[in-house]
Amino acid sequence: MNSLRRVTRVPGLWLGLCALQLGLAWCLAQPVGAAVRTAMNGRVWTHPDRLIAALAELLGQSPAIVAVFVAATVASGLLGAALALLVRGGVLLRLHDAGALGTSAWAEFGRASLGNLPVLALIGLYGVVLRLILTFVANALSGSHAVVELVVLIVLLTFATCAGDLAAARRVLHGERGVHPREYLRACVDVARSPRLWLASGALSLTRWAVAGAIILVAVHGVGEAWSSWAARGLACVAMFLALWRVAVAVEASQPRA
Amino acid sequence: MLAVGTRLLRRAAVCALVGVVACEPAAPPERQAPEPSEPLRPPDVRGPIPDGIKLADYVLDASLDAEKHTVSGTARITWRNSTRSPVDALVLHLYMNGFRAEDTAWMAEARGAHRGARQNKGDGKWGYIDVRAARLLAHGPTADFKAPEQRDAAATALTLVEGSDPSLGQLALPQAVGPGEAVTVELDFFTQLPRVFARTGYDGDFHMVGQWYPKLAVRHEDRWQAHVFTLHSEFYADFGDYEVHLDVPEDMVVGATGVQVEARPPENGRKRLSYRAEAVHDFAWAASPDFLEYSDMWRDVRIRQLVPRALAGDVQRHLDAQVAALESMDARFGPYPWSTITIVHPPESAGGAQGMEYPTLFTTSDILRLPLPLRLLGVHELLTGEFTTIHEFGHQYFQGLLASDEATQPWLDEGINSFSNTLALDDWLGADASIARIGNQRVSTVDMIRVALGAGSGLDPVDRPAEVYRDFTGTFGGTVYRKTAAVFHTLRALVGPEKFDRAFRIYCDTWRFRHPTGDDLVAVLLRELGAKVRISETGADGQPIDLDLRDYLEQGLKTTAAVDFKVARIANKRAVGTGGWHRGPDGALALAEAPAPEDEGDEPDEGAGEGFALIVREGEFRVPVELEFEFKDGARERLVWDGQARYRVFTFPGRRLVAVAVDPDDKLLLEGERLDNHMRATGHSKPDGISDPAARFAEAADLALLGGLGL
């Protein structure tokens, strides 16, 4: 089955995860808005295109707003990572087999998510170690060429993502041990021996990162404007779709060959 | 690991930067415009030069040793005594001696740093000027000292005595120079340039040669006005004509004050260039074999840029800014009198030379190289390049042309120039021009000044000598540059731009080629605008509101008082009713029944309530201010409050207030804190204008970070 088809046949999964992501981001943004509102204390700023000057004055009076913003951003990163780990088992299962429907589908999703949490966390840890090693490799390969190093690093990071997806898919979907580093290494070797797999997964990773960058661009170019918020939310849904597609590529690759 | 991460971040930044540099436009081909034949524009364009303003003429003959970074030569100075009393000694500035040792007044305050650039620790740490011989060549009212052959073989030897600070020296004369008489002295000098970190010096082959020769102080009626060279004190000198001969290595491209009148064919690897400048009060030059030259014309003024190849891609942006400055200032402050302006771009390694003005020549600063990601984010700024060019050119007026004493009243040049720069930017880019942008947000010229007011302008009054400002306080820029600009922008907005511009033009016309003081500027404004300037015919009590101009300028220039108004409270209360016991016509008490009053805090109906607004003057600065009241029915009403009392309660019987704005048209640029100028009544909570955008931005940042929930 085609990996894209695996995603499109589970729209509920995509929409559910999108809602989770959008809700999380919205919730975490509220303390920032509340902190600013409290600091404003009934005062009004009437120049929507000159917020930099207003913020310079406001942050001078209430520097705690910066702390709230940083805390919200860090929290969103940590919560995002935690939630991604939490739902990863269920996501793999739904992308593998979308047979169950309705309540039973969500129950199955929950079981797969929670049941595989420890082993997926371990695979995630292997991924962190691999990324560190690849960072050194990129540095060694590139010498003093900073641009080359950046490009090599990005390419190698897509490798680590692809290997992690494959190892996780094998463990969750096919019951492979997966806990031992050897199994993780086997996934790495398989990715290295399958350029098409790496290419497909890597392209989707890069596109997703580009979409994340586009969200920032949209946010900066449309500060305070409603269209910018909705565009950012829309792009976040696109990023979610790309993430699922990338995982589906690993699911497809993990299928035993006939 | 952390180190690796940091290193990677640094490398990522470098990558982005390299990517940008790779995309930089290549250096355009050099272009030449003809050297002007005269240092001044034609009289019908520039207007007359007042008689008797040229009191100090110089003939400088100097040679640059580009290996040792020294300049040696002679300075023949002719000085005319325009005072009513005889003068028995000449006082000279030896500015380069400010860099001679740790304990000079300049170095003791600077402690080896100037505007972020640090003094070199190795070779080239020190700079100095040594006057090795001095002679009296002539003494008399009619001598023509300009022809070299007139040198008197029987010159009288003189002795230069350095002051307690070596930046000053005194030359005793054998005979006093009487009123109206002239005297000519010649000095042999040797100048060691420091490695540049504060305006003047060298960096490799680049030489920025400023304040390099012995320079006469200005004789006031009863004394020499000769300031010790300190960190913030710049310069002050009489106008005169300069004839300068420079002997430099053959490969040097030279830019100098005035116009080049002769270039002898190179000989033995060296060449001799001659320059002439008229009606100026200083002479500076720059030389580098790496300069590319770009010359353009604005009307009959030659604009010459000397640029290292690495920065040549920026010449058009600087040219645009230069032309904009000429257009604006020539129209506003009177015709630019000289026929040339040279813009020197110091190489990136000589940042200390950036941003300094000399007559008909200035150094500008590099345009910030923005990494590609920042450019994608819509970051754009005019501050690092264009603004510097406009600012340094503005000094051709303040104080190149209106030659105030920069040491005694630095605000008259830096502050008034900053004021003029904002006008030039607005003329160029439209009213309330943007100096920087990030995405859809902008920093206006007004914001630029206002943001700097808060932290940097409350310790010292504007009108103080430069030496009083301590570097440690960091207030010189905020006070002298920004607060002065704010004082005059605010005044201009209050009295009306047309009225103010007309008065200011009269100041400029009156004091061209002269030495105005702050009192002179105030006197012109008082004369032209009047001591009381009508701001509004109907004040808060129906009476006219006048601005007391003298009081305003006194507060703005001589005190540390800050403008700060605040909408402290808005409320709507029930109207005063008619119920209760009142005496009737017959003198007896009678009870009048009235509807029961609404509970305290209830919002009354329109017509039954009364709006209250409390406006507080939190700052000590007293100035009239406009207020705008918005009512529930959508009506808006404006009133002018004289701002003299500490606070005022405004009441509106029968009307319900929704919002109040202090200074709704943003006239009071002097007011650094603006957030508390606009408030809405409780229960009418429309967005505050900041919290919603902040929350939206935080949400988008979170979404970008989550980027597919991190899956």
Q: How far is it, in rounded angstroms, from Cα B89 to Cα B167?
A: 17
Mean pLDDT of chain A: 90
Digit-coded pLDDT (tens) for A22-48? 999 999 999 999 999 999 988 999 999
Q: Are the CB atoms for B504 and B482 separated by under 8 Å?
A: no
Would you call A36 and B690 a contact, using CB atoms and an 8 Å cutoff? Answer: yes
Question: Does A73 lie at the interface with B, CB-CB under 8 angstroms?
Answer: yes
Question: Which residues between 103 and 132 in chain A have a beta carbon less than 8 angstroms from any beta carbon of chain B?
Answer: 132
Q: What residues of chain B lie within 8 A of the CB of A24, using their CB?
A: 702, 706
Question: Does A102 lie at the interface with B, CB-CB under 8 angstroms?
Answer: no
**pTM of the model as a whole:** 0.89
Would you call B691 and A218 a contact, using CB atoms and an 8 Å cutoff? Answer: no
Q: Are the CB atoms for B561 and B621 separated by under 8 Å?
A: yes
* Cβ partners under 8 Å of residue A65, min gap 6: A32, A35, A36, A39, A58, A59, B694
Question: Does A87 lie at the interface with B, CB-CB under 8 angstroms?
Answer: yes
Q: What is the DSSP string of B368-410?
A: P---HHHHHTT-EESTTTHHHHHHHHHTTTTTTTB---TTT-G
ipTM score here? 0.93
pLDDT of residue A137: 87
Q: For chain A, what percent of residues have pLDDT higher than 90? A: 67
Q: Are the CB atoms for B293 and B302 separated by under 8 Å?
A: no
Q: What residues of chain B lie within 8 A of the CB of A242, using their CB?
A: 708
Question: Does A193 lie at the interface with B, CB-CB under 8 angstroms?
Answer: no
Question: Does A2 lie at the interface with B, CB-CB under 8 angstroms?
Answer: no
Q: Which fold has domain B49-289?
A: Immunoglobulin-like (2.60.40)
Question: Does A134 lie at the interface with B, CB-CB under 8 angstroms?
Answer: no
Mean pLDDT of all residues in A175-193 = 84
Burial (CB count within 10 angstroms: exposed 0-12, middle 13-18, buried 19+), residue B575: middle
Nearest to B706 among A52, A55, A80 (CB): A80
Q: How far is it, in rounded angstroms, from Cα A30 to Cα A45?
A: 19
Q: Which fold has domain B558-579+597-693?
A: Immunoglobulin-like (2.60.40)
Would you call A232 and B4 a contact, using CB atoms and an 8 Å cutoff? Answer: no
Digit-coded pLDDT (tens) for B54-77? 999 999 999 999 999 999 999 999
Question: Does A200 lie at the interface with B, CB-CB under 8 angstroms?
Answer: no
Decide if B49-289 and B558-579+597-693 have a common fold: yes
Residue ranges of domains in chain B: 49-289, 558-579+597-693
Residue ranges of domains in chain A: 3-254
Q: What residues of chain A lie within 8 A of the CB of B628, using their CB?
A: none
- Which amino acid would we find at residue B53? I
- Which amino acid would we find at residue B295? S
Would you call A232 and B699 a contact, using CB atoms and an 8 Å cutoff? Answer: yes
Question: Which residues between 23 and 42 in chain A have a beta carbon less than 8 angstroms from any beta carbon of chain B?
Answer: 24-26, 28-30, 32-34, 36-37, 40, 42
Q: Are the CB atoms for B172 and B87 separated by under 8 Å?
A: no
Would you call B709 and A20 a contact, using CB atoms and an 8 Å cutoff? Answer: yes
Work out whether strand B56-65 and strand B218-219 pair parallel, antiparallel, or are unpaired.
Answer: unpaired
Calculate the dihedral angle through the C-alpha atoms of B245, B251, B255, B260, rounding to the nearest 10 degrees: 50
Token pair for B6: 């940091």
Q: Which residues of chain B have pLDDT under 70?
A: 1-25, 140-154, 455-456, 594-608, 684-685, 708-709
Helix H or strand E segment including A172: helix A146-174
Distance, in angstroms, between A103 CA and closest chain B CA? 23
Would you call B440 and A219 a contact, using CB atoms and an 8 Å cutoff? Answer: no
Token pair for B402: 């209106």
pLDDT of residue B9: 38
Q: What are phi and psi of B151, to 5 degrees?
A: -55, 130
